[in-house]
Amino acid sequence: MADPPVDGIRLIVGLGNPGSRYERTRHNAGFLVVERILTGRCRRWFPAGKGESIWEEATIRLGANEFLLARPLMYMNRSGNAVSDLLRVHDVSPASMLVVVDDVALPPGRFRLRVGGGHGGHNGLRSIRDATGTGDFPRLRVGVGSPAAGIDLADFVLESLSGEAWAYMEAVVAAAADVVEVAITRGLVAAMDAFNRDPAPQAGPPAGGTDPADRALPTDPGFPPGS
């Protein structure tokens, strides 16, 4: 695989939960973003790994450079084992991996791109940190908003979206895919400058409240069966 020209990013990992039950949920924002990047280039996924560490992967070309896309096929809080093996198999360092996740602390359509940091209560990021022994990997948090008063957080992020809510989520995913492409072709700093404070897409979400963009992400609830 050719080295990319900026920041050394070689691998983009989207986090989510496997299975049709979760395909159109807010918690699967990471899956949806890498899927958008892949299908936009008429490519398909290839299975990889074995046993308790499985994932899908595909290679895309942007300009003169190739990048690896991947989706761990484990539930969210067990995705770190697949990511650790993925890094080993392809000889990629954590610092050369961009992880895409959902974020209930950000209003829908807002993004936070960081070069490293803690897990912020996100089970997927926590699992990767625990499995790799480091939090020093870039991550893109995709704002999905937080539930209105009286709505359980797990129910909110695992709700199967349809109609206007799904159309809006698709717009958010498309915008997030643009952030990823800028990050890997023009660099993390350029992408942070361009997108970290960008407003949400023009049409607002049809339901659900939002929290201030800069508050800490609360601990993820326990998603059955253990996302």
User: Is the peptide bond prior to 225 cis by the omega test (within 30 degrees of 0)?
Assistant: yes
Let me know if 203 is exposed, middle or buried by CB neighbors in 10 A (0-12, 13-18, 19+). Answer: exposed
Contact 73, 109 (CB under 8 A): no
27 is known as an active-site residue = yes
Q: Which of 27, 90, 119, 122 is catalytic?
A: 27
128 φ/ψ sector (left φ>0, alpha ψ -120 to 50, else beta): alpha
| DSSP conformational letter for 202 | S
Buried/exposed 133-156: b ≥16 CB within 10 Å, e otherwise: eebebbbbbbbbbbbeeeeeebeb
DSSP per residue, 65-125: EEEEEEEE-S-GGGHHHHHHHHHHHTT--GGGEEEEEEETTS-TT-EEEESS---TT-HHH
Contact 51, 29 (CB under 8 A): no
Helix (H) or strand (E) holding 39: helix 29-39
Let me know if 93 is exposed, middle or buried by CB neighbors in 10 A (0-12, 13-18, 19+). Answer: middle
Active-site amino acid positions? 27
